[in-house]
Amino acid sequence: MKQLLRTTDPTSIAFAKALLQGEGIDCFEMDVNMSVLEGSIGILPRRLMVHADDLEEAEQVMRDNGIALEG
């Protein structure tokens, strides 16, 4: 699994997941429980992971829809 997106914005994660599912790309959200434990402070980011073989396609989907990716 490779990290596609890391953010403290839960709406960005939800949007990205919906886009990926629409393209048939499996994804997995990590650090959800840690983010919930810290409450609503929003300091612990969540990560959206995809299979390494799907990374390039997933990155293109994010760019096409205006979601900024790190590096």
Q: What is the model's pTM?
A: 0.84
Tokens of 32: 């959800």
pLDDT one-digit tens code per residue, 28-55: 999 888 755 666 666 788 899 999 999 9
Kindly tell me if the per-residue pLDDT of 9 is higher than 70.
yes
The answer to whether the CB of 23 falls within 8 A of the CB of 56 is no
Chain Cα centroid distance, residue 40 = 19
